[in-house]
């Protein structure tokens, strides 16, 4: 990424194990709503909230994210979190992206209702709100609220409802059910080619 100022950049962080249409619709909707120049998908390295659960290799999650976003000229994928050693904290993601885009960039961190509810427990939460504007998006099964968060730092956006989660996709692969139309076609093929998820274990949906 070259140094660019005055740009509005969305950040979609996630484990993306695998990436699915809920992630993609949320990013597309926020891109449109805020007139973002681009949305960068950032697969986590070792997610600190998921330390006790099994997560697919970072390289597989990164490649699925690349496959899923390749056709959208406004979507990009960053390796900052998978290339940084140790657990992934969003405050580090924001610092690194701010540095690579240079001064003047406006960052919009996109997060689903479930993640937004827990955000104050994230490392250096106050600093995160200085580094980026937060955009909470609706997600079926979760209540979207920003009452616990600093007023001017968060916007709420309703996005088309996709009752899809990565955990449910993994569970479907274990159960030999299709994941067609829940994840992009290329991701269906990638999961089969790399034999991901087939042998579990899978974690309960969250």
- For ligand ATP, which residue of 46, 98, 162, 194 counts as binding (CB under 6 A)? 162
Nearer to ligand ATP, 19 or 105 (CB): 19
Please name which of 104, 58, 100, 80 lies closest in space to residue 12, comparing C-alpha atoms: 80
Tokens of 43: 């697969």
Using rule CB under 6 A, residue 26 touches ligand ATP: yes
Number of residues that bind ligand ATP (CB under 6 A): 20
| Spatial separation of the C-alpha atoms in residues 177 and 60, rounded to whole Å | 21
Q: How far is the CB of 101 from ligand ATP (least distance, A)?
A: 21
Residue 150's contacts (CB-CB under 8 Å, 6 or more residues apart) are 129
| Spatial separation of the C-alpha atoms in residues 118 and 20, rounded to whole Å | 22
Using rule CB under 6 A, residue 89 touches ligand ATP: no
Q: CA torsion, points 193, 197, 200, 203, in degrees to nearest 10?
A: 180
Q: Which residue's Cβ lies closest to ligand ATP?
A: 112
Q: Which of positions 29-88 make contact with ligand ATP (CB under 6 A)?
A: none
Nearer to ligand ATP, 146 or 162 (CB): 162
DSSP H or E segment with residue 164: none
| Spatial separation of the C-alpha atoms in residues 166 and 155, rounded to whole Å | 25
| Spatial separation of the C-alpha atoms in residues 48 and 87, rounded to whole Å | 5
What is the per-residue binding string for ligand ATP in 100-119, x denoting contact by CB under 6 A? -----------xx-xx----
Using rule CB under 6 A, residue 165 touches ligand ATP: yes
Nearer to ligand ATP, 112 or 184 (CB): 112
Positions touching ligand ATP (CB under 6 A) are 14-17, 22-23, 26, 111-112, 114-115, 137, 139, 162, 164-167, 205-206
């Amino acid at each position: 990424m070259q140094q660019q100022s005055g740009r509005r950049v969305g950040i979609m962080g996630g484990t993306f194990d695998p990436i699915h249409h809920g992630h993609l619709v949320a990013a597309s909707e926020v891109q449109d709503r805020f007139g973002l120049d681009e949305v960068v998908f950032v697969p986590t390295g070792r997610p600190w909230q998921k330390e006790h659960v099994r997560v697919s290799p970072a390289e597989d999650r990164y490649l699925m994210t690349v496959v899923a976003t390749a056709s959208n000229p406004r979507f990009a994928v960053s390796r900052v979190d998978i290339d940084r050693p140790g657990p992934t904290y969003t405050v580090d993601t924001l610092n690194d992206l701010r540095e690579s885009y240079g001064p003047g960039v406006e960052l919009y961190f996109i997060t689903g209702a479930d993640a937004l509810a827990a955000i104050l427990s994230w490392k250096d939460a106050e600093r995160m709100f200085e580094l980026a504007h937060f955009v909470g998006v609706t997600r079926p099964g979760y209540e979207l609220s920003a009452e616990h968060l600093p007023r001017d730092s968060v916007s709420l956006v309703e996005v088309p409802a996709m009752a899809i989660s990565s955990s449910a996709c993994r569970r479907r692969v274990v159960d030999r059910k299709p994941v067609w139309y829940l994840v992009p076609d290329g991701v269906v093929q990638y999961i089969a080619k790399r034999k991901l998820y087939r042998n579990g274990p899978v974690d309960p949906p969250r």
